[in-house]
Each structure stands twice: as C-alpha cells, then as structure tokens.
A and B are shown apart, each in its own frame.
Chain A
Amino acid sequence: MKITIDADKCCAAGQCVLIAPEVFDQRDEDGVVVVLDDAPPADQHDAVREAAAICPAAVIELHA
C-alpha cells in the first residue's frame, strides 16, 4: 500500500488521526494532514482504508 495526499484540499477535520494515529498526524501551524508513513505495514491497512473512506475532503488516495 502506498499513500498519497492532496494537502491543499485538507479541511483539518482530524478523523484520519483518530482512526490511524500511527500513519497520520496534523501539522502544528494549521492542522493540515501529515503522513507519518506513506507505505504502512499490513497491520495498518484496514485503519488507513477506513481513514480514506471517512475523510470528508477526499484527501487520502491509496495505491496498490
């Protein structure tokens, strides 16, 4: 799994951080998403898929 994000679209709702805190964080200056691990281990894949599905601004893209 490979994660890419479109940070310009991020509205800093923070749901990805709640769902997958080992993979996503928010930057201090404005809460916009930061990817901590863009190729997360398998045990994180379900949480990352959930974060992508819930993201209100469709910022998180997943690639095989």
Chain B
Amino acid sequence: MTLSAAAPAPLPVQPPSGCPFDPPPEFSALRTEEPITKISLADGSWAWLATRYADIRAILGDLRFSSDTTLAGYPLSGMTGGATAGEHRGFIRMDPPEHSRLRRMVTREFMVKRVEALRPEIQRITDELCDAMEREQGPVDLVEALALPVPSLVISLLLGVPYDDHGLFQRLTGTLLSRTVADDERALARTELRGYLDRLVTAKEAAPGDDILSRLIVEQQRTGEITHDDVTSFAALLLIAGHETTANMIGLSALTLMRDEESAGRLREDPALIRGAVEELLRFHSIIRNGPRRVATADIEIDGHLIRTGEGVVVAVPSANRDEDVFPDAGRLDVCRPNAQHHVAFGYGIHQCLGQALARVELQVVIGTLLRRFPALRPAVPVDEIPFRTDMSIYGCHALPVTW
C-alpha cells in the first residue's frame, strides 16, 4: 500500500484543544500549503475542500458551481438539515431561474427596513426574557433562558407558527442539524417536522392570518405560482434556519464577551460600536461548519486546480473568515475591525443568507441588552465543562450555565 492510495482525511471539525473559539487547526495549514484539497465524505466518496477566502468567494460567486442537490456528483453525504436530494428540497438547493423565482417570494419579508421595524418587538421579547432571568436565584442556562427563545419566538411570530409548539420544533431541528445521529433518525425527524408543518399550512389555507406563510398562501399558492407542498418547504426552511443559527451566535458571543472584559467594556461605554462588533463576532465564530456545498457544472480552474464537471466542493467558512490575507491578526477578536463586514459568515453569492438582516438585529439587541443589564455575567462552570457543539453542523454551546 502506498501513501497516495490512502483515502483523504474527512472535513476537520474539532477546535484545537483548550481553544473552543478557534476553528479546526488543520485549516490554517491547508490555507498555506494546500488551499484546494480533497476530503473524504461519510459514504466513502470524496469532494474538494476550499479553505482560502478568495477561492471561497470565487466558488460561491460562480453560478457554474451549482446548488442543485439532484445533480450527479453533488456532495450529499454527511449533509444535515434533513438533506434531501429530490422533491420538497427548498430553494436553497436549487439554481436560477427557479431559485430566484422562489427566493424573491420571501425576500421582502426580511429586507432591512422591515426588520428594522421589528426592532422594538425584538427588544420587548429580549427584555421580558431578561426579566425572567433576573427573577432566578441560582445559575441559569443562557441557551435555554435567552439565546434560543429570542430567535425562536421571533421566527414563530413572523411565520405564524404557534410558539407553544417550540418544544417540538426545537427538538426536531436539533436532530436535523446533528452530524452524529444516524441518517434514518434524521429522516424520521424530517418526516415528523414536515407532517407538523403540513397540518399548519392546511389550517392557514382555511383561515389565513397576518404572517409570512399566510401571505405565501394568499399571494402565491392561490394564484397558482406554488403548491401547498412548496409552502410547507418554505416553512421548514425558514423555521430551521431562523432560530438555530442566531441562537448559537448569541451563546458564543455572550461567552466570548464574558471572557473579554476589555471588549465588553468598550461596547458598554459606546453602544454605537455594537453594530460593528456583531459583524466581528460573526466573522470570529463562523458557526456554519459543514458547508456550504456545490457541484461543478463545468470544468473550472480555482487557484490552479482544475475542478471537473460533476465533482463536489465543500467550502470552509470558518477558514475563509480567519484568512490573514484579508483579516490581519485574524485570530484576535477586534470589535472595531474596519473590514469585519467582509466576512462570509452568511455565505456569499446569490444564496447568501436570506435572514441576515434579522440575524443582525437580533444579535445587536440581545448582546447590547446583556451587556447593559448583566454587567457581571460570567460562566457558572469552568469553560472546559461547557458542552460545545462539535457534533453539530452549526457550532455553538449546547448549554451555557451563567451567573451574575
């Protein structure tokens, strides 16, 4: 057996020992030595892995790298989020023109001015949860008390999903985003979530309300643009994407600021810095750890490597956002970093996060409120006892016990 016959290593997911906020250490060597490399996937197949900022923007910005999960060669193995190659796959797993047609049915719901109008409501939700935290005597789990409920309540409100069902959809979303559950368990969770949302959409068809799903039914389904199943796919996508991502950013951001008194102090003194600080926290934490993924629909050269038609590509967002060519001293959290917003934490290209304006406002409100109301907030356990989510495709903390 020769070395060259060995299967390539899998996608790195473990942060360096004792440094839970750093991306897997393999990325830094790969960026320098082998920025386009091969990784093996769970089913024994392989895909290209891109680790440099410039290459990742080139790939995600090039429509010849397809998001269509039904194309031969698409690197599906190990994908989470209820990966499905075929029907009901949602517009994030499609290319233009169909992708653009469907995405534009919901873009106005998340545009900057609509989200800014929600800011007072997001502040009210945050204040109420902080009031409840203050009434607690002992340590609380910040994930359960604040980080998960804020985005979960907000997306439930926007979609018209009853928040009373949050136990159900939070559990199913957790299974869908886990990298370590068996594929059939994930498929079951997907079926259960789909069944729940299918019934919800049926109820809204009979009695539409003032929410995104109802507007899709009235304006798009009733005019024949989309079907009942399409509305259910929108619901699944927006519900999953709408709370897990922001929830994990809230937890990690709070924890880094608890451990960085200088940055926390600057933000407390000058709240106008919070907007930029959120961009830096998005860059620094880069919680998307399992893609995005594409398949080449042409032979395309990236950074001197020929990627052939039908070959899969996985890009490492945390690596791009620590690329020293773009972000000097990239391993340091600098809440005043001038080019922080150049990060690709929301992806890049036409699939860039639809809900980014909402995520930004939620983060700005929650972080600002925590800094103001809980100046002595600190972890209630040693950091090495905090369960970090290396088993999930979205990084963060499973739980974050805090006291003040």
Contacts and interface: CB of A to CB of B under 8 A. Distances in A.
Interface in A1-34: 9, 11-15, 17-19, 25-26, 28-32
A11 to B, nearest CB: 4
A54 B341 contact: yes
A62 interface: no
Contacts, number: 69
Interface string A42-64: 00000000100110111000000
B342 A31 contact: no
B103 interface: yes
Contacts of B346: 13, 56
Contacts of B352: 11, 13, 56-57
A50 to B, nearest CB: 8
Contacts of A32: 104, 107
Interface residues of A, number: 22
Contact of B356 (A14, A29, A58): A14
Contacts of B104: 12, 30-32
Given A14-B111, A28-B108, A57 B350 contact: yes
A11 B351 contact: yes
Given A13-B356, A31-B108, A32-B107, A54 B350 contact: no
B112 A57 contact: no
Nearest to B61: A58
B348 A31 contact: no
B350 A56 contact: yes
A18 B112 contact: yes
B94 interface: no
Contacts of B360: 18
B113 interface: yes
Contacts of A28: 108
Contacts of A57: 61, 349-350, 352
Nearest to A11: B350
Interface in B110-127: 110-113
Contact of A26 (B103, B113, B353, B354): B113
B107 A19 contact: no
Nearest to B275: A18
Contacts of B111: 12, 14, 17, 26, 31
B108 A30 contact: yes
B357 A14 contact: yes
Contacts of B103: 11-12
Interface of B: 60-61, 100, 103-104, 107-108, 110-113, 341-342, 346-354, 356-357, 360
Given A12-B103, A14-B357, 19 more contacts: A9-B350, A11-B107, A11-B351, A12-B104, A12-B107, A12-B108, A13-B346, A13-B352, A13-B354, A13-B356, A14-B110, A18-B357, A31-B111, A32-B104, A54-B342, A56-B60, A56-B61, A56-B352, A57-B352
Closest 4 CB pairs of A and B: A31-B111, A12-B107, A31-B107, A56-B352
